[in-house]
Structure 1
């Protein structure tokens, strides 16, 4: 019996190793030729400045290639070391770094956050002995704090003293949402504050020392200043607007708004390493970099989630920074990311040893193109029947979709230009500084006789809006945000409302 069991074990190990080496040279070459041709056809009709793609099969990279321009205006081409912003795909890095700290005994994911708050005390009633770090990292804490997420991801107003005030003063809790999945950046932002408070550590430095350095990810960072200092090529952010094609956005990422839920820039070459170590349970090039148990902990589902976003739809689970779902009945582990000017798709099939990373520096068509290219790669390596016909149709659908978008976008721009002002006072009466205790200070000023708004890193000129005493801005590029001015009893502008939050007008400084 022992001999038979031994043979079975040997056979299983042998077949596993055989699969990891099963990609033939001819298959690889055929895939590269077909995939490359398809990518170039898709890019002809979508105005995406640059796209970086990493494909793994048999647990190893078989295709790493970058297309287009990191910066069109400057004529800077993108390559495999070009940095793309991966947005919320950062969460898998942050969660792994937390698991590694637990492995070292420095934190415990199942312990309540009360232990890690230090001197921080919440103004509102928060069940700090019930909510754990794991709740934070799986989006099940029941907590809310819009101002904290706004500062960390957008405005960049993140001085420790201000963040601590927002953290303790604006945090709220909804009991019916506890243990219920509710996706946002907040849990990861709270974790970063706890890490600073309890261990005096910056989440960025933990990831750099415990993940990036051991993996040799030499063109990945959470510091834009590091990329600039090293002279790395960074893909600039674009959005397609009307018939103008892709234009630069007005909210570039900086050190102060790269945050723990979405704060990493990485290259196609480095993302291939990230896929390899995750799909091979901590191994890269046969070397065990991270403990198998730690990787498996991150890839275990802890909260159920119904997914509607293509291509991995249906009932799934959220792990630590990863979503566990299915594609054509095959298990897939993934996380997407998006921000004005960027899209990211990182996914892999652990059982089939197929992985995909697609990053773009355009956010109008970027996610749609990434989805089509990702499923093309999966279907090719899964040897799906009829894929040629399917992807010819999808290519045409992308073209039609983009043409439709351009038409609709151009009409929207034209319609907004026809709007009449609904402001009743001279424009100078609306200018000044408006403060919100938690969101910060918004400046309203005239720029070439046009009202403009700025808060932290964010700035936007305005257009007229359809409501009285209101203007439309895009502090977050690609969105239509309304600022409504409120008069006092003397018919003087006393405050404004932005995203349902009031900002009080401050006295003019002498």
Structure 2
């Protein structure tokens, strides 16, 4: 008994009770919010879930669909479905399942840079020359005229194929110096100052964070966003998760079902333009903070800059007429309502995040059947229209043909067949080996596995299929890559590789 009293000192007991009360209050708050939403929209769940199930059955979908409605108090409604759930079987899919949010990361990166700006750690109106002088584009671009703001709103005008491919798909040595060298030696430039969407600006902004603070974009994202919002299951590192638990990309065809299944990211390819894995529960905290615009992350004027256009654009995506871009959000209109959207895609993964600031309501949606990449957007619209008491079914019927068309296009695509597989032979053995590129692209290796061959390019790999003599292709999950080999030279696109002698 004396030992127990020594352990549970009064001050520790008070802290323990406060912690327990806080946890219970948090859980109760979510439960209270979902009940409130149900009371205010009593027909929502039945109509919404019935529509999702109908589409799932009609299209014979594979993979996962997970959905959430978020308001200023947090998670208000969620729903998950896949073939297991539809058939009454147990599934690991729920609100704590890790999902990749792809380019929705850009909204987080813009927020991080605005936080650092508000804290006067950096100034988003200061130049790239000031914060990253080693990036000089071989003195062909005046980086004094490119600001951090330009990086975040896609008006910087620069692009680099090698840097983009390395960070998104292939990997690199992990050092900013390699990427800066790519930008300095392999770049395109549009001096017009017009909106040109790409990953480049956000990734360079991440380098600015590291140059200014001495810590990586990944570290600062955790310090200034994930921790304050208590997003405990969110990370910029694939290695922080059980890899098998991350919901994968699915490549599917009408003819053959699932062609490829996998998650094609590693820590090295998780970057400031597309490098966050999270959960519905955590993302509802993020989206709710944006809806509330409270002071957990930023003050009111900073939120205003994050949620209003800093440049113009004129683009249509599905039903959204995009007229502007802030520091990380597309500004659009849907059914005469202002809507901020940030979507993301990788192979079969399609991620939707949006909110209507005046209605104080937002949507998170995820699917991973490549044929159904519009599905999250279609159902987000259906939910908004239900909530806003619009003629939901007639609007849905006018929008669904667009989904049907895109679905059929993907469904009819042809993919490599086993009959095309390059199989083991003494002649084919000649292509085995490692190939290197003089322009510092990741090496390519060709290895034998069982009775076939594997093409490995950076962190990606896939089986090799034969087109004709000396001409091949490989399905790398996120892309299909053609290549040719003649003697000791491998050509893929415009890249030239030479076999390395061991």
TM-score bracket, normalised by the shorter chain, equals 0.7 to 0.9
- How far apart, CA to CA, are the structure 2 residues paired with 1:88 and 1:70? 29
Greater shift in the superposed pair: 126-135 or 468-477? 468-477
Q: Is the 8 A contact 1:242 1:413 kept in 2?
A: no
Distance 1:495 1:405, change over 3 A: closer
Matches within 5 A, 1:21-170: 25-44=38-57, 45-57=59-71, 60-68=74-82, 76-117=91-132, 119=134, 122-123=137-138, 125-160=140-175, 163-164=178-179, 166-170=181-185
Matched, 1:195 2:209: yes
Query: Match of 1:508?
Result: 501
SS in 1 for 2:104: helix
- Using the size of structure 2 for normalisation, the TM-score is 0.83
Q: Is the 8 A contact 2:152 2:202 kept in 1?
A: yes
Distance 1:37 1:427, change over 3 A: same
- How far apart, CA to CA, are the structure 2 residues paired with 1:29 and 1:158? 54
SS in 2 for 1:215: coil
CA drift of 1:50 comes to 1.5
CA drift of 1:347 comes to 0.6
CA drift of 1:376 comes to 0.2
- How far apart, CA to CA, are the structure 1 residues paired with 2:431 and 2:162? 24
SS in 1 for 2:430: helix
SS in 1 for 2:82: strand
CA drift of 1:101 comes to 0.6
Q: Is the 8 A contact 2:69 2:363 kept in 1?
A: yes
CA drift of 1:266 comes to 1.3
CA drift of 1:150 comes to 1.2
Unaligned runs of 5+ in 1: 1-19
Deviations 1:256-286 (A, max 9, x none): 1111100111111122222211122236xxx
Matches within 5 A, 1:82-481: 82-117=97-132, 119=134, 122-123=137-138, 125-160=140-175, 163-164=178-179, 166-174=181-189, 176-228=190-242, 233-282=245-294, 288-313=296-321, 315-365=322-372, 367-385=373-391, 387-391=392-396, 402=407, 405-406=410-411, 408-409=412-413, 412-413=414-415, 426-436=427-437, 437-465=439-467, 469-477=470-478, 479-481=479-481
CA drift of 1:504 comes to 2.6
CA drift of 1:39 comes to 1.9
SS in 1 for 2:165: helix
Q: Is the 8 A contact 1:224 1:253 kept in 2?
A: yes
Q: Which structure would you say has the larger RCO, counting Cα contacts within 8 Å and 6 or more residues apart?
A: 1
Q: Is the 8 A contact 1:118 1:197 kept in 2?
A: no
Unaligned runs of 5+ in 2: 1-32
- How far apart, CA to CA, are the structure 2 residues paired with 1:38 and 1:377? 10
Q: Is the 8 A contact 1:356 1:374 kept in 2?
A: yes
SS in 2 for 1:55: strand
